[in-house]
């Protein structure tokens, strides 16, 4: 049997404690976190503060309003993060911010905050790819060595594997992201956006009893989700559909719970399929789920069954680290900062299009 290949990590142990502040605001969450890498190789999360912009039921978050929210809360969130960490801004080594991908207006408002702090305190800036942030945080928290990563959130759906200093995308969505698909359906059936539409779908789905036929669209290693959303929405116009779920004697009804259940089962099955194929191809036995949809316990359960059948292991984190947060930006940013990477202030832009595979992962072998 082939054994284990040892590779030396290019990342040296820190010669002194390094502390980084991470600022995240690529979607409707604004987060600030402080992380510390010690000379003994340990990593400590000093603080992780987040505030979410929550819209009324039936509405999504618009870029302009979201940016407004971030500007309003930035000061208090950062102050909270510093207070909880028990340090001052003078003590940190670098300021990490999300360079992309994400919504333009929220990204720029947070980047502006990062630039201002950088100039005020004379600290270097580090621009971070949001997806890489998720992956590095997941690896740090779970201790997974070389997992296949399923990154599922409101804006992204990707199956990622690491190879030769690059996180390579094996499969992804061809249209909308899985979180977007679930959130938009939550809007159709008027679920609350608090704490998150996806969480409420999950709770509703637990009460669903009936699996309705929906399209199953994997295309090669990719998935397509927009048609499934349309088909699910079409069921709400079906004459058997009852929003309140009340059925008269002997009546055949479709409830919104059934639809949540069917939607979840179908899209998660597709995600498990493409993840399994990536695992089979790479020969990895570890799978790591990151991103906002990653805290869905049904997805974790389905992935767990698949991993078990392959004698593998599943790694997942809870909502503190799954959902967008500042600490993941700090972690990924600090890793690249320790490899000597900095973003000069003249280049501290952000971009809505920034693919995971465009990042040079200097800190891994």
Partner 1 sequence: MSRRAGVNVPSVRMVDALEGVLGLQWIDGKSVRFLLGGGAEGEEEIEESAYEEDDILEDQSEEEDALVEFNISKDEVMQKIGVEIAKMHKADVIHGDLTTSNMMLYHPRSGLSDLVLIDFGLSYISSLVEDKAVDLYVLERAFSSTHPASENLFASVLQAYERTMGKEWQSIGRRLDDVRLRGRKRSMVG
339 makes contact with partner 1 (CB under 8 A) = no
**139-165 burial code (b ≥16 CB/10 A, e <16):** bbbbebebbbbbbbbbbbbbbbbbeee
Shortest reach from residue 164's CB to partner 1, in Å: 5
Q: Which is nearer to partner 1, 37 or 69 (CB)?
A: 37
143 binds partner 1 (CB under 8 A): no
Please say whether the beta carbons of 175 and 267 come within 8 A.
no
333 is in an annotated binding site: no
The verdict on whether residue 296 carries a ligand-binding annotation is yes
Residues 99-128 that bind partner 1 (CB under 8 A): 101
Question: What span, in angstroms and rounded, lies between the C-alpha atoms of 118 and 140?
Answer: 26
Considering the complex, state which of residue 41 and residue 344 has its C-beta at the smaller distance from partner 1.
Answer: 41
As a whole number of angstroms, the distance between CA 150 and CA 156 comes to 10
Q: Using CB under 8 A, which of the segments 80-88, 233-241, 279-287, 296-304 binds partner 1?
A: 279-287
- 275 scored as a contact of partner 1 (CB under 8 A): no
* Residue 343, SS3 per DSSP: strand
Task: Report CA torsion sign: 24, 25, 29, 31.
Answer: positive
- Decide if residue 281 touches partner 1 (CB under 8 A): yes
Q: Shortest approach of partner 1 to residue 217 CB, angstroms?
A: 12
- Of the pair 87, 365, the CB lying nearest partner 1 is at 365
Location of structure tokens 């028990």: 86
Q: Which residue bears the tokens 């088909």? A: 231
305 is in an annotated binding site: no
280 binds partner 1 (CB under 8 A): yes
Distance of alpha carbon 41 from the chain centroid: 26
Q: Is the dihedral of CA 334, 335, 336, 337 positive or negative?
A: positive
Which of 64, 83, 210, 219 lies at the binding interface for partner 1 (CB under 8 A)?
Answer: 219
Q: Structure tokens of 93?
A: 């080594």
With respect to partner 1, which residue has the nearer C-beta, 208 or 312? Answer: 312
Residues 173-212 that bind partner 1 (CB under 8 A): 173-175, 177
* 177 versus 259: smaller Cβ distance to partner 1: 177
- Is 231 labelled as part of a ligand binding site? no
90 is an interface residue for partner 1 by CB under 8 A: no
Does the annotation list 336 as a binding residue? Answer: no
Least separation, in Å, of the C-beta of 51 and partner 1?
A: 25
Three-state DSSP class for residue 117: helix
Q: Which range binds partner 1 by CB under 8 A, 109-117, 236-244, 249-257, 276-284?
A: 276-284
CA distances to 127, 273, 354 from 101, rounded to whole Å, are: 11, 26, 5
In the list 24, 93, 136, 172, the residue contacting partner 1 (rule: CB under 8 A) is: 172
Smallest separation, CB 334 to partner 1 (Å): 16
Q: Which residue has the tokens 């049997």?
A: 1
Distance CA 31, CA 81 (A): 9
What angle is formed at CA 166 by the lines to CA 92 and CA 19, rounded to 5 degrees?
10
Q: Is 355 in the site for partner 1 (CB under 8 A)?
A: yes
Which strand (E) or helix (H) includes residue 320? Answer: helix 319-322
Count CB-CB contacts under 10 A for residue 267: 26
Residues touching partner 1, count (CB under 8 A): 49
Helix 256-282 vs helix 197-206: angle between axes, to the nearest 10 degrees? Answer: 100
The annotation places the binding site at 130, 134, 151-155, 183, 198, 202, 296, 324
The annotation places the binding site for a divalent metal cation at 130, 134, 151, 324
Q: Which residues bind partner 1 (CB under 8 A)?
A: 1-13, 41, 101, 145-146, 156, 161, 163-164, 166, 168-175, 177, 219-222, 277, 280-285, 352-355, 358, 364-365
């Amino acid at each position: 049997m082939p054994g284990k290949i040892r590779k030396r990590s290019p990342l040296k142990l820190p010669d002194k404690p390094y502390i980084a502040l991470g600022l995240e605001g690529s979607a409707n969450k604004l987060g600030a976190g402080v992380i510390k890498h010690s000379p003994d190789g340990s990593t400590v999360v000093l603080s992780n503060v987040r505030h979410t912009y929550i819209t009324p039921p039936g509405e999504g978050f618009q870029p302009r309003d979201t940016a407004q929210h971030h500007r309003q809360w930035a000061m208090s969130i950062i102050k909270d993060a510093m207070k909880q960490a028990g340090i001052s801004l003078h003590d940190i080594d670098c300021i990490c911010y999300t360079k992309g991908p994400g919504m333009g207006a929220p990204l720029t408002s947070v980047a502006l905050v990062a630039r201002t702090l950088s100039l005020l305190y004379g600290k270097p800036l580090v621009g971070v790819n949001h997806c890489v942030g998720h992956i590095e945080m997941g690896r740090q928290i779970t201790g997974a060595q070389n997992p296949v990563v399923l990154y599922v959130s409101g804006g992204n759906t990707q199956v990622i594997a690491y190879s030769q200093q690059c996180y390579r995308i094996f499969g992804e969505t061809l249209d909308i992201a899985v979180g977007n698909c679930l959130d938009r359906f939550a809007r159709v059936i008027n679920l609350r956006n608090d704490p998150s539409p996806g969480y409420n779908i999950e709770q509703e789905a637990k009460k669903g009893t009936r699996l309705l036929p929906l399209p199953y669209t994997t295309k090669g290693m990719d998935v397509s989700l927009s048609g499934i959303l349309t088909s699910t929405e079409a069921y709400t116009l079906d004459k058997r559909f009852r929003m309140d779920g009340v059925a008269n004697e002997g009546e055949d009804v479709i409830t919104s719970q059934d639809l949540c259940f069917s939607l979840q089962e179908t899209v998660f099955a597709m995600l498990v399929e493409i993840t399994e194929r990536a695992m089979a191809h790479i020969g990895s036995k570890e799978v790591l789920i990151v991103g906002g949809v990653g805290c869905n316990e049904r997805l974790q359960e389905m992935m767990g069954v698949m991993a078990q059948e392959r004698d593998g292991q599943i790694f997942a984190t809870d909502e503190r680290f799954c959902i967008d947060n500042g600490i993941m930006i700090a972690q990924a940013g600090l890793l690249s900062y320790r490899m000597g990477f900095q973003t000069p202030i003249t280049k501290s832009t952000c971009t809505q299009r920034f693919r995971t595979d465009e990042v040079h992962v200097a800190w891994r072998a």
